[in-house]
Amino acid sequence: MTHWLIVGGGTAGCVLAARLTEDRHNHVTLVEAGPPRGPRSVSYLDDLAVPGALWDGLVATDGDTGPRPYPQGRGLGGSSTVSGGVLSGAGDDDLGRLTVPRRVVTDDELGVIDRALLATCDDAAPVLLSQASSFETFLAAARSRPNLDVITDRLVATIRVDQRQATGVTTADGAVIAADRVVCAAGAIHTPAVLLRSGVDAAGIGEGLSDHVGRVVELTLRHADDGAARRLVTGVVLRRGVIEVVAMNHLGPRRPGHAALLVGLLANQRRGTVRLDSENPDDPAAPPAVDFGRLGEADSVRLAAGVAMVEELLASPPFTDVVAESWVADGFGGYAHATSTCAIGSVVDEHGAVVGYDGLYVADAAALPATPPSGTYVPVILLAERLAAAWRRQL
C-alpha cells in the first residue's frame, strides 16, 4: 500500500484525497491547518467573517505600494468555502468535465446592482454558481473510507526529505508523520512557503506569482435595504475582452447601504514573488511575504479604460436611479486568485512532481502555469483530477 500525505485540505486537497482513496491500494493522510467547515452561506461575506476562516495576518504588496489584506481560505474546503462560487468564465469544455453541482442565478435572487447592470448592458449576464464547497462536493462522501485519515487544526512546518526523497512531514507541534509520497496542496501562497521552509531547492519556487488585478468602484445606494446583507452578493457579470465588471449588491452587514462594482483585468503581465518572512523564516505561523509586483503601463491603461467604462455606465438612468454616490477605492483589490508560484514547466513537471526530487508533488493553484481568464476554482479542480488520475495509472 502506498501512503500519500496531502498538505492542505483546500480545493485541490479535497479532490486529491477523494480520488486517491478510490483505490484501496492507497492510504491518504490529509493534514489541514484550519478547522472543519460547514455549508457555505448565501452571502460569502458572512463566510469571510467567520473566526478562523482566513489565514491571519496575510497581506500583500503591489510593487512599491503599502501592504493590503489578502484573503485566503483556511479550513477544509479552503477558499471554496469563502468565495462567491462564480463559475462563469470557465470554458464550456472545462465546465463539461466538471463534477460540481451548479446552477444559474434566478431572477428573484438578483440585487439592485445586478438589475442595473443587466438593464444597462445587453452583454451582461447572470452568473453560473457552484452550489457547494470542494469539501462538501468531494471530501465529505470519502470521510468514511478506511484508507483516509483527515487531520485538522494541524499546521505543517516542514516536509521531511532524505537524499532528495520526500519521507513525510513535521508539524508545528513537532510531530512526525511518515509517508511514501507528499503532495503540497496548500495554495499558491503557502505551498511555496512550505517548500522553501523545508529547504527544497528546485529553481523557481515562489517566483511567477500572478493574480487578476482589479479596482473597486464603491457605491452608496439611494435606498438602504436592511435585508440585502444576507442575500447573494454577486448575481451578474459583464465581460468585454479582458475587462470584467462584477456586480456586488452589498458589502455585508458592516457596510449597510453600500455596494460596489469590481473592475478587473482577466489577463495581465504583472508577476511577483512569495518569500518567507525575513525575520522569522523558520516559523510556520509567520505569514509569507507576498509581493505581486508593479503593474506595467499597458495593463494600467487597460485597467483605467475599464474604470472609465464603469463610470460611464454609472451615469445611465438604471444606475442613477439606485446609486447616490460613487468613488474608486484606493489601490488594487477585489480578487484573490493567486497562481503560478510552483508552475508546471519550471518547478514541477507535467505530473506535478517537483524537479530533482522523488515522491514530492505540487497539485494546486501554485502549479498552474498562468492565472486563467476566470476564477481559479474550476482550473484547480480539473488539475487535481488530472494529476490524481495520472498518479494512479503510474502505480
Question: Which residues, including other chains, have CB under 8 Å from residue 272's CB and lie 6 or more apart?
Answer: 209, 210, 290, 291, 292, 293
What cell was used for 73?
481560505
Helix axes of 377-394 and 11-20: crossing angle, nearest 10 degrees: 30
- The pLDDT score that the predictor gives to residue 279 is 95
- The pLDDT score that the predictor gives to residue 94 is 83
- The pLDDT score that the predictor gives to residue 93 is 83
Phi-psi region of 168 (alpha: psi -120 to 50; beta: other; left: phi over 0): left
Percent pLDDT > 90 in the chain is 85
Enclosing domain of residue 19: 2-394
CB neighbours of residue 92 within 10 Å:
7
- The pLDDT score that the predictor gives to residue 127 is 95
240 near 215, Cβ under 8 Å? Answer: no
Nearest to 309 by CA among 130, 120, 140, 77: 120
Q: Which CATH number covers residue 307?
A: 3.50.50.60
Distance CA 368, CA 231 (A): 33
Sheet (strand 360-362) strand order: 148-151, 26-31, 2-7, 181-184, 360-362
- The pLDDT score that the predictor gives to residue 229 is 81
Distance CA 83, CA 44 (A): 6
| Residue 24 DSSP SS3 | coil
CA 19 and chain centroid, separation: 21
In single-letter form, the type of residue at position 347 comes to V
What cell was used for 214?
482589479
Instruction: Report the domain count for the chain.
Output: 1
- The pLDDT score that the predictor gives to residue 73 is 95
Number of H helices, E strands in the chain: 9, 21
Question: What does each C-alpha distance from 336 to 72, 263, 312 come to in angstroms?
Answer: 7, 14, 26
* Ranges under pLDDT 70 in the chain: 395
Q: How many residues does the chain have?
A: 395
DSSP letter for each residue of 327-395: EEPSSS-S----B-TT-BTTTB-TTSBBTT-BSEEE-SGGG-SS--SS-SHHHHHHHHHHHHHHHHHH-
Question: Which residues, including other chains, have CB under 8 Å from residue 225's CB and lie 6 or more apart?
Answer: 112, 250
- The pLDDT score that the predictor gives to residue 139 is 96
- The pLDDT score that the predictor gives to residue 17 is 98
- The pLDDT score that the predictor gives to residue 212 is 96
Four-residue CA torsion sign, 133, 108, 46, 333: positive
Beta-strand relationship, 165-171 and 156-162: antiparallel
Distance CA 352, CA 358 (A): 11
| Residue 224 DSSP SS3 | coil
Buried-state track 247-283, b at ≥16 Cβ within 10 A, e below 16: bbbbbbeeeebbbbbbbbbbebebbbbbbbbeeeeee
DSSP letter for each residue of 94-145: HHHT----EEEPPGGG--HHHHHHHHH-TT-EEPEEESS-HIIIIIGGGTT-
